[in-house]
Amino acid sequence: MDAADLDVSLEPLHYKRLEQLRILNAAVLPVRFPNSFYDDCVKSSSDSTVLAHLDDLLVGAVATRVEKASKSEGEGEQGARLYIGSVCVLAPYRNRGIGGKLIAKCLAAAEAWGDENIKDAYLHVQTSNEEAVKFYEKYGFVKQRVIENYYKRIDPPHAVLMVRPFVYPPSTPSIQV
């Protein structure tokens, strides 16, 4: 039985309510992010970090940060990237379309910056989580490679690296001299 989509409102992260995001992630994910990750969420990309509220309840969120070129993974690539650290929806509210709305809104927000330095978004998925891989593929992510022993405390410890390039419309002002 597939229930109807829930009507959630999507809002960017407010730094005074950061703790709620932390609680949400702690409740859903088997891994813990360091505090520095959340600090980056606030500092670098608070509007691509999107929270889903059902009435006034926080039920899901996607947490992101912008990584400067030097920080990014991959082989000698230049430019900044958007790292999607977590996409979480509380168990009772899953399969009601919230995750998709979150990821779409997140990507749209990042694209709306129009910052061509940010060339793509990437994320990690546990290799066993095929459902998630399919889910991200729906939103334009492509499997790039498997990183062995990426996770420390969960089994299997390997992760799939998925990447989605940003395509900026030609209308983006690019001044030629």
Partner 1 sequence: MSDSLLLPPKEAGSFKQIVRCYEMKQYKKGLKTADGILKKFPNHGETLAMKGLIINASSDNLAGGGGGGGAASSLASVEAKKAEAYDLVRLGLKHDLKSHVCWHVYGLLYRSDRNYNQAIKCYLNALRQDPENTNILRDLSMLQIQMRDIKGYAETRQKLFGIRTNSRFNWISFAIGQHLNGNHEMAVEVLNAYHTTLDTSGPNGGPKFSSDLEKYEHGELLLYRAMVLEEGNLFDEALAHLDTCEPLAVDHVGLKEQRARLLLKAGRNAEAEEMYQILVEFQPESHSYHDGLRASMGLPPSTRPDANGGAATSSTPEQIERMTALYAELRDEHPKCSAVQRIPLDFLPVGTQFKTRLLAYVRRRLTRGIPSLFSDLKGLYVHAAKAAVIEALFLEIEESLKKSELFPEASADDMREAPSTLLWTYIYLAQHFDRMNDTPRALAYADAALKHTPTVIDLYLVKAKILKHAGDPVSSALLADMARSMDLADRYLNTICVKKLLRAGHQKQAENTIMLFTRGTGPDDSKHKTAEELSRATQRNLYDMQCSWYEIECGACHERQGELGKALKKYVAVTKHYADITEDQFDFHTYCVRKMTLRSYVEMLRMEDRLHREKAYRRGASGAIRVYVKLHDKKPSGAGGAGVLGAVVRPHARAADIAGRNADGAPLDPDDPNLTPAERKRIKQKLRKAEAKAASKEEKAASKDGTPSTKDDDPDGAQLASTDNPLGEATKIVSMLQQHAPSHVETHLLAFEVYMRSGKAILALQAAKQAVRLSPESPATHRNVCAMFVACERLFAQWDAEKPAEGEKPAVAAARAAQRGTVREVYALERDEMLPKGTGMLDRLEAYNASYLEAHGTLSLAQRSAAGEVLHRMHTPTDWGAAPLTGASRSDSARARGVELMCSADASSSLADRLDALDTLRGVLGTADAHVSSFLSASLQAFPYARCFGGSYELPEEQRPSSTDA
Q: Does 19 bind partner 1 (CB under 8 A)?
A: yes
- Span from 19-27, 77-85, 114-122, 140-148 in contact with partner 1 (CB under 8 A): 19-27
177 binds partner 1 (CB under 8 A): no
Between CA 82 and CA 110 the distance in angstroms is 8
Spatial separation of the C-alpha atoms in residues 74 and 51, rounded to whole Å: 29
Using rule CB under 8 A, residue 27 touches partner 1: yes
Q: Which of 39, 43, 50, 38 is nearest to 13 (CA)?
A: 50
| Nearest approach, Cβ of residue 33 and partner 1 (Å) | 12
Q: Does 17 bind partner 1 (CB under 8 A)?
A: yes
92 binds partner 1 (CB under 8 A): yes
Determine whether 53 is an active site residue.
no
Cβ 141 to partner 1 shortest distance, Å: 27
Instruction: Return the number of the residue (55 or 131) whose C-beta is nearest partner 1.
Output: 55
Distant-in-sequence, close-in-space partners of 129: CB < 8 Å, separation ≥ 6: none
How far is 49 from 102, CA to CA, in rounded Å? Answer: 9
Dihedral sign computed on CA atoms, order 53, 55, 56, 57: negative
User: Judged by CB under 8 A, does residue 56 bind partner 1?
Assistant: yes
Given the residues 38, 83, 93, 136, the one annotated as active site: 83
Contact 146, 158 (CB under 8 A): yes
Question: Which residues have CB under 8 Å from 171's CB, separation 6+?
Answer: none
Q: Are 88 and 103 contacting, i.e. CB atoms less than 8 angstroms apart? A: no
15 counts as catalytic: no
Q: Measured from the CB atom, is 51 or 109 closer to partner 1? A: 51
Residues that bind partner 1 (CB under 8 A): 3-4, 6, 14, 16-17, 19-20, 22-24, 26-27, 35, 54-59, 90, 92-93
